[in-house]
Structure 1
Amino acid sequence: MDLTLLRTFLAVHRAGSFTRAAQFLDMSQPTVTAQIRSLEKQIGRQLFQRLSRGVTPTTVADELAAKLAPHLDALEEITARDLLGTDPLDHTVHLAGPAEIIGQRVLPALADLVRRGLRLRVTLGPGGELLAGLAAGRHDIVVSDVRPRERGLTSTALADDEYVLVGAPRWAVLLPRERIAEHGPSALDDVPVIGDSEEQVLARRYWAAVFDAKPPAPAALVVPDLRAVLACVRAGAGIAVLPRHLCAEALADGSAVTLFDPEVPPLTTLFVALRAGEPSRPHLAHLHARLVAHAAEW
């Protein structure tokens, strides 16, 4: 079996497109197509289904990629490190995730890899949208607060974080815990809620888990950045549901307080996602391992 065909197959499987794979391999698209057809003929099985945009792997292709990737990537690393004398971290990685997670947790965890030569290009945005971009090949790795469900992606749970209902200290006086415990969500009906989207995703999750209800709608203030939401909370504009890690400093210095302590606090899980087959690529494996290691302390 020609290793060139297998390398081309793995590139197409990871890229989800003959065109993107051709760019990565510095080949023409017809050459990539011909090599995939040759490999399919040799093994007697279809590897990809052609779509209007790109391709999707068959189950045979997924199984083949899972078996091949660690070995081909190891050969690539040996060639780069031992024969060419290059560092496996000498790559550019397109990383994506929500702004507050990337800024507070992910980038500090990767500082050492950047010093060693890894180049990062970062895209910020909602987890769901970024996972679609990962599947389409626009990103290499995504940290998300949404469980990846797209076909062709693999993910690892990094850490759990608690959702908390917070406000400035004045709101704790106006909304004593006993009132919320007695009256439930109705105690909050006339209180301005601050969110990062019109959908109030975090508030909806909290209200559903804690009160079995929906939050007041619409939000009084919408700003598409949870760090800005926290700033508005500290200024006294209203209350908000935030991940505890984001507001831990504000809770510690007293500029924000938790307004309610449910018996079972709602949790969110952070995931790191890659395209199937890519976790064995040396530079991505280093990055993935570093995030998993640091997540134990989050």
Structure 2
Amino acid sequence: MKHVTPDEATAVPGGARIAAHADLNLLRTFLSVYRVGSFTAAAPLLGLSQPTVTAQIRALEQQTGRELFTRLPRGAEPTPLAHELAARAAAPLDALASLESGPLSGRAAPVHLAGPSELLCTRVLPALAPLVTAGVQLRVDTGLTEPLVEELRAGRHDLVIATRRPRGRALPSVPLTDEEYVLVAAPRWQAQVDGAPASDGLCAALKDIPLVTYAEDLPIVRRYWRLAFGKQLTTQAAVTVPNLYAVVSAVAAGCGYSVLPRSLCQDHLAAGTLALLHDPEEPPLNTLFLVQRPGTEANPDVIRVRDTLRHAALTW
């Protein structure tokens, strides 16, 4: 390893030192691996091959003289030194990334926002329309919570609306709003469950009605069964479709029943094209969280979008 004199090195907590002229690409690669927890997962996010990511991490470890990650069969676990280095390097690197991605005229870079497609369409984009007309630029993506949070860790998103709070303390998040879930079907199925005694009778009656969902593992329906009925769902889906909009359409057309956010099917319930099959005293709720990538405070438009969403969500 090349000898580095004290005036050429920067101390890192824990006694290790990194050359001041170290390639920023090594630190960017380190931060991406640290955030996603895997050399393999970090590679496509960085536009690199997995061997290149491995080589860059080894080069940085040679500079520190200590190991940064413990290699596991699946993923990489940060060492205490990696936690210390990430705490010091994340904010400056994120701020530098914001400068590099935005124009030098002083105008803020676009805000990269992601979350569930249905919520973005029905609630989020309408709430942000005034900001857009005022000059804020948005880059919006949709998807499931876990992949979106991992992409946020890697720097692809600034804000993510998540259906569950991310684990760990590395990502700041705040509760945004609560979604109420409702058990619904087309009116043609309502007579089949009307008069079913308590939860056991209703669950038994629903076994003869097809279940429509957006995912094979039935996340929303399983949660409803656990919270509303206190039991595990044993039914398999009869129809799976790409998103909740498609679930609403299929259920309203008479394909079967499903569990949906009330906000997404309220108009159908009011119009009578969907019927409420269950009305518990305490409807099941799910809290949505707004997750912000560390370092994005340097972009004032990220703060404007974040604060606007938190204010708008009070009426959702």
Report the TM-score when normalising by structure 1: 0.73
Aligned to 1:268: 286
Distance of 1:278 and 1:132 partners within structure 2: 16
Aligned to 2:217: 199
Out of 203, 208, 228, the position equivalent to 1:210 is: 228
What amino acid maps onto 1:174 in structure 2?
Answer: Q
1:278 paired with 2:295, answer yes
Aligned to 1:246: 264
Aligned to 1:81: none
Offset of residue 171 of structure 1: 2.2
Correspondence list, 1:127-206, <5 A: 127-149=145-167, 152-176=170-194, 178-181=196-199, 183-206=201-224
Offset of residue 91 of structure 1: 2.7
Out of 106, 110, 126, the position equivalent to 1:86 is: 106
- Identity percentage of aligned residues: 38
1:113 paired with 2:131, answer yes
- Pair 56,102 (structure 1): closer, same or farther in 2 beyond 3 Å: farther
Offset of residue 178 of structure 1: 4.6
Secondary structure of 1:153's counterpart equals: coil
What amino acid maps onto 1:267 in structure 2?
Answer: L
Distance of 1:152 and 1:271 partners within structure 2: 15
1:103 paired with 2:151, answer no
Residue ranges of structure 1 left out of the alignment (5+ in a row): 24-28, 78-83
Offset of residue 233 of structure 1: 1.4
Contact 1:279 1:288 in 2 (8 A): no
Distance of 1:127 and 1:142 partners within structure 2: 8
* 1:87-121 CA distance string (max 9 Å, x none): 23x4352x222211121122222223333141314
Contact 2:71 2:77 in 1 (8 A): yes
Correspondence list, 1:24-63, <5 A: none
Instruction: Give RMSD over aligned pairs.
Output: 4.3
- Pair 216,56 (structure 1): closer, same or farther in 2 beyond 3 Å: closer
Offset of residue 154 of structure 1: 2.4
Secondary structure of 1:183's counterpart equals: helix
Aligned to 2:5: none
Q: Alignment length, in residue pairs?
A: 287
Distance of 1:10 and 1:236 partners within structure 2: 55
Contact 1:278 1:284 in 2 (8 A): no
* 1:242-272 CA distance string (max 9 Å, x none): 1111111112222112111122221111112
Secondary structure of 2:120's counterpart equals: helix
